[in-house]
Chain A
Amino acid sequence: MAKKKNSVLPGFRLTLGYTLLYLSLIVLIPLAGLFVKTSEISWEQFWHIVTAPRALASYRLSFGASFLAALVNVVFGIMVAWVLVRYQFFGKRIVDALVDMPFALPTAVAGITLTALYAPHGWFGLLLAPLGIKVAFTQLGVFIALTFIGLPFIVRTVQPVLEDLDPEIEEASASLGANRWQTFWRVILPMLRPALLTGFSLAFARALGEYGSVVFIAGNMPMKTEITPLLIVTKLEQFDYAGATALAVIMLVGSFAILLAVNLLQWRSSRHLARV
């Protein structure tokens, strides 16, 4: 990684060296430490930890709720992005800025607010109670929180693509006899696919690792509403370093695998979408 081909500008060694040093100290070495620590326990021990019933229940919840939340955000994200790009309405600029709120709002703040909102005596909790729906301290609550934090991802990845969409493509579709829905489904949506995949994977990855927004509303009952990050924290608090480490490794490996899969899907689907 070192042969530079530009000798006019100075500072290559300095900046690259500093970059690598800082990167290693802050990111790479500590992350490596995780895997080093894991190697200190035997395979059986590792396997035993990561396949414990409590752990498995937490994976189901974390992965399941994250996946569903990202999916819901795909549907509504397209709708929001469409409305923001195509239509004019009063207060649009404010709405557009507001979409980024889950980014700008600290997770703990989101956590307690959502809990208060959906708790049995909260505004939404009261609305939903007569319907027999409980949100706070249930898996549904986890799902709601994860939907909240993933909301901006799809909108922001889809918006630029929608903005750059060639209007002539839609006109061509209309001139061939397609109605608006057919044009959307057969022409526009396929063009959004790479952006949707990116947004989905970002929302999914974020939701998987999310902690602050979820721990308040989840109720954190083992086997029922305990997400994997919380399980890791619990083990840490009990000084079960091996347990925490093993679970962390599983989480990391799982997220990377998913990200890789989505990247592959995205590469495949955008192969032919160069501007024509």
Chain B
Amino acid sequence: MSVEVRNIAKKFGRFPALNGVSLKVESGELVALLGPSGSGKTTLLRIIAGLEFPDTGEGRVLFFGEDVTHIPASGRKAGFAFQHYALFRHLDVFENIAFGLRVLPRSKRPKEPEIRERVEKLLKLIQLDAHSKRFPSQLSGGQRQRVALARALAVEPKVLLLDEPFGALDTKVRKELRRWLRQLHEEIHVTTLFVTHDREEALEVAGRVAVLRDGRIEQIGTPEEIYDHPATPFVYDFLGNVNAFAGRVHDGAVEIGENKFAAPQPTGKDDSAAIAFVRPHDIRISREPGGHATLAARVVYCHAAGPMAHLELERVDNGDRFTVQLSKEQFRELDPNLGEQVYVELKNVKIFPEDYSI
């Protein structure tokens, strides 16, 4: 069941949550809507679910080609999981999951034994068959979210929509459930969209990621695509740590201070101002200048607890600071001292021609 939205716009009062968003999700895909708070990702998800409606205009929501824009949630067969679970507190786990089946119109409602069978299958799937008589108040956060998912799946929805499904959980539980969600999707193959502000989650779980900002989609692509080839500085910055170096484009290379660096993307006219973005782990440090290591900088801070080492350096020419990430081995090899002057090589530089503010 493919899901498509065209030209969705939505304002809350005077605040424009969505500004003309279009997106197509193919049947069986697992797509993440990634963005900071206020980017419109939850609003978009809720419009797809039928819990909100786009402002009148050309905005359309299509399920498998069929226009469902004006059909409310109860008619859309879109399973929805809320960030805070929204479980029915007065019903036990079994009844929560069975709810969707029990409210089906009489003609479509399965008989009691069939309901029991389907619910029990789901309970096994979410590994909570021993807890079917418990109430939500007696479950942990991770368990509640699993029940919420099972409840949404019970009615065999055409689309599964998850609103920050793991947002309210601790890191460890979150990682487990991420893995579990991916496995679930591999088993069930229902078209799934989920909203998150956690870039790690999006990159790890989804088949495709749509990055949203201020009510617009900045970029859509596979995790590799958007990480390695970010279309805008915002995407670049949102997906990972970034250092920004001001410089000028000249002869297909970018000049930062006195130093030239290869610019893999030729952008902008000669002599135009540019910002070069470099990831902290794409910077090499050496004691002697030479080869590509030409930018002089002083070590001002070292932090080596944890799996990676982080250094903060200050450019000699203009005092700008930037961070470098080294593996523990590289750090031990280098053995830097505070205040020491070193020379850095910038690899994998991405250039954005205008003066974007991130």
Contacts and interface: CB of A to CB of B under 8 A. Distances in A.
Direct touching of A and B (C-beta under 8 Å): yes
A177 B77 contact: yes
A276 B86 CA distance: 8
Nearest to A187: B88
Nearest to B76: A175
A186 to B, nearest CB: 7
Interface stretch (B97-105, B269-277, B302-310): B97-105
Interface in B166-186: none
Contacts of A171: 51, 73, 80, 82, 86
B99 A272 contact: no
Interface in A159-189: 166, 168-169, 171-179, 182, 186-187
B73 A175 contact: yes
A193 B89 CA distance: 12
Contacts of B84: 168
A94 interface: no
A178 B103 contact: yes
B3 interface: no
B343 to A, nearest CB: 56
Given A178-B74, A276-B87, A173 B99 contact: yes
Q: Which of A171, A177, A276 has the most CB of B within 10 A?
A: A177
B90 interface: yes
B86 A172 contact: yes
A276 B155 CA distance: 23
B136 A276 contact: yes
Given A171-B51, A171-B80, A272-B135, A176 B89 contact: no
B268 interface: no
A190 B78 CA distance: 25
Interface in A104-130: none
B152 interface: yes
A187 B137 CA distance: 16
B40 interface: no
Contacts of B79: 175-176
Interface string A191-204: 10100000000000
Nearest to B148: A172
A176 B78 contact: no
Contact of B82 (A168, A177, A186, A191): A168
A193 B91 CA distance: 13
Q: Which of B90, B99, B151, B154 has the most CB of A within 10 A?
A: B90
Given A171-B51, A171-B73, A276-B144, A177 B89 contact: no
Contacts of B90: 190-191, 193, 272-273
A32 B82 CA distance: 56
Contacts of B86: 166, 168-169, 171-172
A39 to B, nearest CB: 46
Contacts of A276: 85, 87, 89, 136-137, 144
A173 B80 CA distance: 10
Nearest to B92: A272
Q: Which of B49, B103, B135, B136 has the most CB of A within 10 A?
A: B103
Nearest to A170: B86
B72 A176 contact: no
B215 interface: no
Contacts of A14: none
A273 B155 contact: no
A175 B88 contact: no
B95 to A, nearest CB: 10
A186 B87 contact: no
Given A186-B99, A276-B137, A276-B144, A175 B89 contact: no
B103 A177 contact: yes
B247 interface: no
Contacts of A175: 49-51, 73-74, 76, 78-80, 152
B108 to A, nearest CB: 9
A182 B138 CA distance: 26
A59 to B, nearest CB: 35
A274 interface: yes
Interface string A250-276: 000000000000000000000011111
A272 B137 contact: yes
A80 to B, nearest CB: 23
A113 B75 CA distance: 51
Contacts of A274: 89, 137
B51 A174 contact: yes
Contact of A177 (B88, B104, B138, B144): B104
Interface string B53-96: 00000000000000000001111111110101111111100000
A38 B275 CA distance: 95
The list of the 9 closest CB pairs from A to B, nearest first, reads: A176-B100, A272-B135, A175-B80, A168-B86, A178-B103, A172-B86, A190-B90, A276-B136, A174-B73
Given A179-B74, A276-B87, 5 more contacts: A175-B51, A176-B79, A177-B75, A177-B155, A178-B103
13 contacts: A168-B84, A168-B86, A172-B87, A173-B88, A174-B73, A175-B74, A177-B103, A187-B88, A191-B89, A273-B89, A276-B89, A276-B136, A276-B144
Interface of B: 49-51, 72-80, 82, 84-91, 99-100, 102-104, 135-138, 144, 151-152, 154-155
